Homo-oligomer: A and B are copies of this chain.
Amino acid sequence: MRWDELEEEPCSMARTIGVIGDRWTLLILRECFLRTRRFEGFQSALGITRHLLAERLKKLVRQGVLRRIPYQESPKRHEYILTQKGLDLYPIMMAIVHWGDTHMVDERGRPLLHQHRKCGKNFDPVMVCSECGEPLSAKEVHTHPGPGARTTPAIKAPEKPKAKARRSAA
């Protein structure tokens, strides 16, 4: 399975990973949600090499996660803002932050707090069932093939390698 194949996999997780599943992309997205919009902003916030940054931004634009919008004409300059598709990544980001808040903080506590404008309180994100509203955990969920399934989800048929492997090459 190579990376360009990932987006063809019959698995929503594999496809998503094909889009955002690398370290710099995730970090770039974090910056987007913290309102960074410009090349230099990303670069200095992250310390990513300019080369990779340019490449990742291009990829995110191609995939419709970011939109590249001109903000001045003279020397043409653009900024990168989240599309709706990009904004929809928010639950992923929050879930990641929350896991870190739970399992990776040091003595000093959380680096960042999140306040919900609607209720005014600092909160944690909780994932619930869209149908009954109850919080979800892995054990309460049963997974089964949907219309887009191919075989057993994402598990290849066990190809037999017919190697006689007894060669001493040297």
Chain A interface residues toward B at CB < 8 A: 1, 3, 6-7, 10-17, 19, 21-23, 26-27, 30, 33-34, 44-48, 64, 82, 85, 87-106, 108-119, 121-134, 136-150, 153-156, 158
Find the B residue at minimum CB distance from A137.
B90
Are the C-beta atoms of A12 and B104 separated by less than 8 Å? yes
Are the C-beta atoms of A156 and B108 separated by less than 8 Å? no
Q: Is the interface of A mostly helix, strand, loop or mixed?
A: mixed
The oligomer's copy count stands at 2
Are the C-beta atoms of B91 and A117 separated by less than 8 Å? no
Least Cβ distance of A25 to chain B in Å?
A: 9
Are the C-beta atoms of B131 and A116 separated by less than 8 Å? yes
Contacting residues, chain B, for A144 (C-beta < 8 A) = 112-113, 115
Contacting residues, chain B, for A105 (C-beta < 8 A) = 12, 148
Given contacts A12-B101, A13-B100, 9 further A-B contacts (CB under 8 A): A12-B105, A14-B27, A44-B156, A91-B127, A108-B147, A111-B145, A112-B154, A116-B140, A118-B134
Are the C-beta atoms of B146 and A134 separated by less than 8 Å? no
Contact of A103 among B11, B44, B85, B131 (CB under 8 A): B85
Contacting residues, chain B, for A30 (C-beta < 8 A) = 11, 13-14, 154
Contact of A142 among B17, B97, B115, B130 (CB under 8 A): B115
Are the C-beta atoms of A148 and B106 separated by less than 8 Å? yes
Are the C-beta atoms of B127 and A94 separated by less than 8 Å? yes
Contact of A100 among B16, B23, B114 (CB under 8 A): B16
